């Protein structure tokens, strides 16, 4: 793609998180400064691509947004161009409007589209690439579950929120001699629970990767009580489940690309602790607090480097690739090595070993 030729598009898809605006800023400023390209921002993810809703992004438009949470372009996780429900259409009335999305991109002179998002967003980007719209990806997910990158935009900010919440709950737990159960996000991977739990000094951390036994959890709480530690902090990933049991599903959303909504495991664990120990247990579900607020400096730096790399990939014609961070450097990987897999916490993770060494239990 020649410098100054055409325009580069950018959109944010899936759930919001801190660092998205930093990535938009990096994409826009790199494209303008280094390649003299026009930048078009599509509103509300792929919905803007289908509906033709977009705005030109100038250097000044993205100045001052580095520290802002959320996304100035808006986002949605229900706008798959290949399975699209028009506004006002009844539930379940889906159409393939990918051709319309490609036409809107061509009308705006888009030579490449930078898609900032998680597995769902990147899967759509890969399919659009197969139909003739060159795409590159930037990994964004607080769950940190995308393969081929050690960390994704939003993860560090989410972990910081979790650690700070545990710090606050710790003083209440100790004052009232209670067991505090904190349920955190992460879907089918335990990265947020592990990193946030270790940073916050959790006594028990329950992960999807290590099925727990309720009797082991209760034994940890009782032993702490006998040693004079009359409170415990239990951090639970939303995808955690007992050995031989399944994950707790809060509800399903039929017209969503990911219809399963996990939630409720914290309440189940608290009930099990009260029944098994006779001690009072309280539950705090952090929920979307983990997605909001100002990005940490780590996320700002990561988003800046990944956004810049995405533009360089597009300028070099290296499409259908995701910018990635591995071994201390920014690199990239083809979509086919990213999609269809979940990056889970290894059972032999050095952080799990370190946590066990300082007395943390994983309920197994």
DSSP 66-109: TT--S-TT---SS-BTTBB--TTPPTT--B--HHHHHHHHHHTT
Classified as helix, coil or strand, 330 is strand
DSSP state of 6: S
Q: What is the residue-level pLDDT of the chain in tens, covering all 364 positions?
A: 555 567 999 999 998 999 999 999 999 999 999 999 999 999 999 999 999 999 999 999 999 999 999 999 999 988 999 999 888 778 778 899 999 999 999 999 999 999 999 999 999 999 999 999 999 999 999 999 999 999 999 999 999 999 999 999 999 888 888 899 999 999 999 999 999 999 999 999 999 999 999 999 999 999 999 998 888 999 999 999 999 998 888 777 766 667 778 889 999 999 999 999 999 999 999 999 999 999 999 999 999 999 999 999 999 999 999 999 999 999 999 999 999 999 999 999 999 999 999 999 999 9
**CA R_g for the chain:** 22
Specify burial of residue 52 (Cβ count, 10 A radius: 0-12, 13-18, 19+): middle
Rounded to 5°, the CA angle 333-17-314 comes to 35
- Which segments of 227-279 does DSSP mark as H helices, in order? 265-277
Tokens 């009232």 belong to residue: 176
Describe the crossing of helices 297-315 and 20-35 by its angle, rounded to 10 degrees: 40
Edge-to-edge strands, sheet with 179-184: 204-206, 232-237, 179-184, 281-285
Active site residue 143: yes
Q: Cα separation of 245 and 57, whole Å?
A: 49
145 contacts 191 by C-beta, under 8 angstroms: yes
Task: Catalogue all structural domains in the chain, each as residue range(s) with its CATH number.
Answer: 7-153+295-326 (3.40.50.450), 158-291+346-357 (3.40.50.460)
The predicted-structure confidence for 292-339, as pLDDT tens digits, reads as follows 999 999 999 999 999 999 999 999 999 999 999 999 999 999 999 999
Tokens of 312: 């360089």
Q: Cα separation of 246 and 356, whole Å?
A: 25
Tokens 């986002």 belong to residue: 75
Q: Which residues pair with 333 in a beta bridge?
A: 322
Handedness of CA 328, 330, 334, 335 (dihedral sign): positive
Q: Which helix (H) or strand (E) holds 216?
A: helix 214-226
Tokens of 197: 């739990």
Selected catalytic residue, list 16, 143, 145, 203: 143
1 contacts 112 by C-beta, under 8 angstroms: yes
DSSP state of 249: E
Q: Which helix (H) or strand (E) holds 219?
A: helix 214-226
Q: How many helices (H) and strands (E) does the chain have?
A: 10, 13
* Cβ count within 10 A of residue 288: 10
The predicted-structure confidence for 1-43, as pLDDT tens digits, reads as follows 555 567 999 999 998 999 999 999 999 999 999 999 999 999 9
Tokens of 291: 């997605």
Complete DSSP assignment for 10-62? EEE-SS--TTHHHHHHHHHHHHHHHH--EEEEETTTHHHHHHT-EEE--TGGG
Single pTM value for the model:
0.93
356 contacts 363 by C-beta, under 8 angstroms: no
205 contacts 197 by C-beta, under 8 angstroms: yes
């Amino acid at each position: 793609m020649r410098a100054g030729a055409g325009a580069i598009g950018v959109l944010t898809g899936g759930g919001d998180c801190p660092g998205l605006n930093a990535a938009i800023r990096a994409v826009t400023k790199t494209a303008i400064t280094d390649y003299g390209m026009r930048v078009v921002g599509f509103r509300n993810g792929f919905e803007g691509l289908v509906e033709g809703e977009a705005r030109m992004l100038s250097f000044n438009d993205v100045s001052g947004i580095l520290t802002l949470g959320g996304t100035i372009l808006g986002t949605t996780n229900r706008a798959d161009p290949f399975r699209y429900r028009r506004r006002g259409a009844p539930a379940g009335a889906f159409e393939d409007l990918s051709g319309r999305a490609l036409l809107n991109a061509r009308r705006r002179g888009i030579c490449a589209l930078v898609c900032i998002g998680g597995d769902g967003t990147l899967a759509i980007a890969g399919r659009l690439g197969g139909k003739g719209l060159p795409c590159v990806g930037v990994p964004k997910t607080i769950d940190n579950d995308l393969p081929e990158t050690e960390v994704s935009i939003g993860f560090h900010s989410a972990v910081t929120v979790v650690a700070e919440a545990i710090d606050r709950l710790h003083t209440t737990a100790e004052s009232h001699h209670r067991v505090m159960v904190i349920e955190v996000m992460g879907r089918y991977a335990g990265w947020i629970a592990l990193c946030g739990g270790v940073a916050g000094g959790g006594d028990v951390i329950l992960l999807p990767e290590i099925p727990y036994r309720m009797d082991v959890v209760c034994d940890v709480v009782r032993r702490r009580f006998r040693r004079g530690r009359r409170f415990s902090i239990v951090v639970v990933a939303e995808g955690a489940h007992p050995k031989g049991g399944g994950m707790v599903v809060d509800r399903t959303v039929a017209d969503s690309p990911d219809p399963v909504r996990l939630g409720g495991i914290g309440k189940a664990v608290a009930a099990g602790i009260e029944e098994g120990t006779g001690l009072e247990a309280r539950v705090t579900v952090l929920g979307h607090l983990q997605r909001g607020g100002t990005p940490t400096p780590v996320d700002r730096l990561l988003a800046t480097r990944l956004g810049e790399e995405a533009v360089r990939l597009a300028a070099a014609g290296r499409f259908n690739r995701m910018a990635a961070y591995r071994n201390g450097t920014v690199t990239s990987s083809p979509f086919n090595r990213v999609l269809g897999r979940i990056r889970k916490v290894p059972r032999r993770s050095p952080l799990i070993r370190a946590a066990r060494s300082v007395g943390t239990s994983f309920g197994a």
